[in-house]
Structure 1
């Protein structure tokens, strides 16, 4: 009798999920894959769906976000310069998808690797007068964390209000004593989607992958670098970590702060109202840029749309640096279409990643790239963690979003789109310099003849690409 009731309940739950799949309108291939998992893997199929298969755009868990953002003032929109008008469709796409406008009154400094980035961040923190906002996916104990603590302790004594937020999964190793020390000196600490009974299954797969630092609404930082000593010390297995970050001054900083305050409200349910500051000095080099936030509770897959649009708009060249290029069908088709149309498409990837399964999955697409004329460069001496896309000496994207399903569909991410020739050329030249020390895969026939063992491992890993 017990087992009969259990089986009946399981079947009813399974059919309930089937109905939900049909109502939510997932892609047919994806729906069929979940149906197969649910009915062939007892219990495990349903648990897997609840953790990674639910459509957050149809089932918003964070109604708090809508409640908070509708009370925020509409961010001001800059009038496009002549150089930006050629990108008006992309500018409109971003604004239409997430409501974040073009800003033109900005200065931008591109920072490379950990030491230069953190030296710049710590120098900027020393200037704080009113508030400091810090948000990282990974915040680990170590030398960098201690340097942060000492500066924050000093600024708190000066009366600066400080808020620090981290992702509960990315920063899982952060010692509780460090958090208590922050609280002791008066720093407010927020944890994004902590492990809690009842919400564990529904939220485990949705992480906050952003890296943002705000000083007084005047200086902002974002990019790919986390608070981890691996950026200062070479990893014995994969070498030094190479990454790219940005220092921004100007109107765009208000938008970075808007992202932080929204996430802070989601994490703590505390509303913080900080007036927009007017810079005391005029920005000399007015860089047009657009901040792009994306997350699983948005109405559209914003970051996927932006990457897709940049790829399709490329006329001369498209260069991509990214550690985890695991494209979905739309992104893969757009990359292949660009290459087959005569666009110089190049990918710079590490020869090995920090996760073996991900490494196999990334490599499973190489054959498709080479067949369509996409050039693949493998860097042997460092782990490339930058997330960069640059095209035609006109536009560059730098931020936190990888080219995989997790970043495009499941994580909270932030990129900055720069509409500026000189900075785009700077990014391009660094890309070409890095490619000089990389190994280029160019022979499709030779790569196709790799061992069956490698093909088997890559094929198996590819099956898991929606979850990687």
Structure 2
């Protein structure tokens, strides 16, 4: 009797999933793959689909509403700037996707590696007058977390409001005792999609990979660095962790805060009131910055499209620094086409990796990259975790998003796009210095790698859509 009931429910669930795939499936190959899995792997196929297969762009966790405050901001964006006009198509693409306009009055500071980054962060946190908003994928206990706790206590005594979002899986090791200490001193701390049985299947695969700090609507930080002592002390297995962060002073910080507020609502169901900043239309000095959020709830993959547009519009060069280059088909074709067309395409990838499977998956694309004329450099000193794209001395992307399908379609990410020649030249110079210290791969040599390496790459590549 129970077996019959189970079979009936199973068949109903399978039929409903099949109908959903036929109605909402975007890519025919992917839809066919899931249909085969559901019909050939009893129970397991359905469980896998429920965890990682659903089209979140159709089944959204939340729907963001148009912010009327943005209208007045967008009306102020009119500038006769050569780089602005040159990148107008990319700027328009991002604005259509995210409703985030470029901002014209920003001062930027590049922060390389953890010691410099956290020194800058703590200096600015000390000056907070109104609020501090923090959002991290990984928030680990240790020296940094304890130092933040003491600073929070001091700022709350000064009537500064402190809110913290931490990812429910990325920060899973965060102890109840530390969270209790935060609560006792008055910090509002909430997990993003925590590990809970009732929401396990629907939320496990969708993580908030953003790293954001906003202070008083004026100063913001974003980039690749999490709250972890390995950025100060290194890692026993990987050595020194290298990364890049960005300090933003200006209107772009307001847009970072808007992203935080939307994520805060998703995590807490609480709204935070905010006012649009007053902008002087005559003040157009500073660096042009456009904040690009991306997540599974968006109608389009805004960061993937931004990367695609940077690559396909490049005329001279595209330099990419990223530890996880596992491209979608669109990005793969864009990179190969650019290189074959004569654009100088280079990649700086960490020689060491924090995941064996991911490492072999990244390597599985090397041969096709090299064959197209893309130059690949393996950075040998510790673990390189930066996420940077720089092109044509004109445009830079720096933020949290990797060049992989997870960052494009499954994670909540944020990048800052900078349209500034001096800034781009600085990142280009930094790339060339680091690549000069690295090991360059060559196509003829790489094709002679052992067959066992090819086998590992091929096996790992199967998992690329979910890594």
For the aligned pair, the TM-score class normalised by the smaller chain equals: over 0.9
Equivalent residue number for residue 321 of structure 1: 321
Using the alignment, how far apart are the partners of 2:72 and 2:30 within structure 1? 37
Which moves more between the two structures, 48-57 or 35-44? 35-44
What's the CA shift for 1:283?
8.1
Q: 1:72 to 1:285 in 2, by over 3 A?
A: closer
Equivalent residue number for residue 452 of structure 1: 451
Task: Tell whether the 8 Å contact from 2:25 to 2:55 is kept in structure 1 after alignment.
Answer: no
Using the alignment, how far apart are the partners of 2:451 and 2:82 within structure 1? 53
Using the alignment, how far apart are the partners of 2:42 and 2:82 within structure 1? 59
Equivalent residue number for residue 255 of structure 1: 255
Using the alignment, how far apart are the partners of 1:114 and 1:209 within structure 2? 18
Task: Tell whether the 8 Å contact from 1:250 to 1:279 is kept in structure 2 after alignment.
Answer: no
Equivalent residue number for residue 402 of structure 1: 402
What's the CA shift for 1:285?
5.5
Using the alignment, how far apart are the partners of 1:449 and 1:351 within structure 2? 19
Equivalent residue number for residue 25 of structure 1: 25
Task: Tell whether the 8 Å contact from 2:103 to 2:288 is kept in structure 1 after alignment.
Answer: yes
Which moves more between the two structures, 357-366 or 190-199? 190-199
TM-score with structure 2 length normalisation? 0.96
Using the alignment, how far apart are the partners of 1:142 and 1:357 within structure 2? 28
After superposition, the C-alpha distances for 1:54-89 in whole angstroms (9 at most, x for unaligned) are: 0011111224x44xx556654612223232111100
Equivalent residue number for residue 388 of structure 1: 388
Equivalent residue number for residue 76 of structure 1: 73
Q: 1:71 to 1:88 in 2, by over 3 A?
A: closer
- Map 1:202-351 → 2, pairs under 5 A: 202-277=202-277, 286-351=286-351
What's the CA shift for 1:25?
3.0
Task: Tell whether the 8 Å contact from 2:69 to 2:276 is kept in structure 1 after alignment.
Answer: no
Equivalent residue number for residue 108 of structure 2: 108
Using the alignment, how far apart are the partners of 1:340 and 1:71 within structure 2? 44
Give the 3-state SS of the residue equivalent to 1:139 in structure 2: coil
Using the alignment, how far apart are the partners of 1:161 and 1:446 within structure 2? 57
Using the alignment, how far apart are the partners of 1:96 and 1:283 within structure 2? 25
Equivalent residue number for residue 197 of structure 2: 197
Q: Does 1:86 align with 2:86?
A: yes
How many residues end up aligned between the 2 structures? Answer: 463
Q: 1:432 to 1:424 in 2, by over 3 A?
A: same
Task: Tell whether the 8 Å contact from 1:238 to 1:383 is kept in structure 2 after alignment.
Answer: yes
Using the alignment, how far apart are the partners of 1:283 and 1:436 within structure 2? 40
Gap runs ≥5 in structure 1:
none
Equivalent residue number for residue 365 of structure 1: 365
Task: Tell whether the 8 Å contact from 1:216 to 1:277 is kept in structure 2 after alignment.
Answer: no
Q: 1:111 to 1:177 in 2, by over 3 A?
A: same
Using the alignment, how far apart are the partners of 1:285 and 1:76 within structure 2? 16
Task: Tell whether the 8 Å contact from 2:208 to 2:413 is kept in structure 1 after alignment.
Answer: yes
Give the 3-state SS of the residue equivalent to 2:73 in structure 1: coil
Equivalent residue number for residue 121 of structure 2: 121
Task: Tell whether the 8 Å contact from 1:207 to 1:411 is kept in structure 2 after alignment.
Answer: yes
TM-score with structure 1 length normalisation? 0.96
Equivalent residue number for residue 40 of structure 2: 40
After superposition, the C-alpha distances for 1:357-400 in whole angstroms (9 at most, x for unaligned) are: 00000000001001100011001112111100000000000000
Equivalent residue number for residue 460 of structure 2: 461
